[in-house]
Amino acid sequence: MRIIAGIAKGMRLAVPRSGVRPTADRIREAIFSSLGARVVGARVLDLFAGTGAIGLEAASRGATTVTFVENSHGALESLDRNVETFKRNREVNCSISIVRGDAERQLGKLASAGESFSLIFADPPYGAAAQNSLTDVNLPKLLAVGGMFVLESAKREALTVSGPWELARESVYGDTRVSFLQNKQMP
């Protein structure tokens, strides 16, 4: 796995032997092509960050801040290594932080702290976790006006988009569904 574009183009990413399902290069490329200029200057939240491939791709393409949230010890080791390599080897103008812990609990803490993100990415374990992300009450509070929530799920999972969310776009790549959502309840 590598960073696809931007200042860190070509940087290899450390991947744990098991326990994560990193977003494939071609899917990351499609996601970031869809987002285009939204990434430049963005405040990014990368939930279920795994190796950090999504957040580091955003940083490489001009995001100003990236906050990673990860719970798995093995994934955190790779994430730490990838962030350090990114910072050490590149001209970085991006503030990067890693929040260790369960995504649901951390969303509550981030919302209580008044955090706001223009791009939120979530690649939860396939299964009920994707639908749970759509029903988390704190997630819409964290999305800035005009922001985008990008959710990865299994193609076979039928997601119910309701409440504050409006589906802006959806694409399927192999076994992966990528849903681009906006908060329809924002002014």
49-105 pLDDT tens trace: 999 999 999 999 999 999 999 998 889 999 999 999 999 876 778 899 999 998 889
pTM of the entire predicted model: 0.93
From CA 138, how far away is CA 50, in angstroms rounded?
A: 21
pLDDT at residue 186 in the model: 62
Q: Looking at residues 118-132, what average pLDDT do you find?
A: 81
pLDDT at residue 168 in the model: 94
pLDDT at residue 133 in the model: 79
pLDDT band for position 22 (cuts 50, 70, 90): confident
pLDDT at residue 17 in the model: 78
Residue 6 has pLDDT above 70, yes or no: yes
Q: Which residues pair with 69 in a beta bridge?
A: 47, 99
pLDDT at residue 130 in the model: 74
CATH code for the domain defined by 25-183:
3.40.50.150
pLDDT, mean over the chain = 90
Q: Looking at residues 130-150, what average pLDDT do you find?
A: 88
Q: How many CB atoms lie within 10 A of CB 154?
A: 15
Q: Looking at residues 114-131, what average pLDDT do you find?
A: 84
pLDDT at residue 126 in the model: 67
DSSP output for 62-102 = T-SEEEEEE--HHHHHHHHHHHHHHHHHS----EEEEEES-
pLDDT at residue 184 in the model: 81
pLDDT at residue 32 in the model: 96
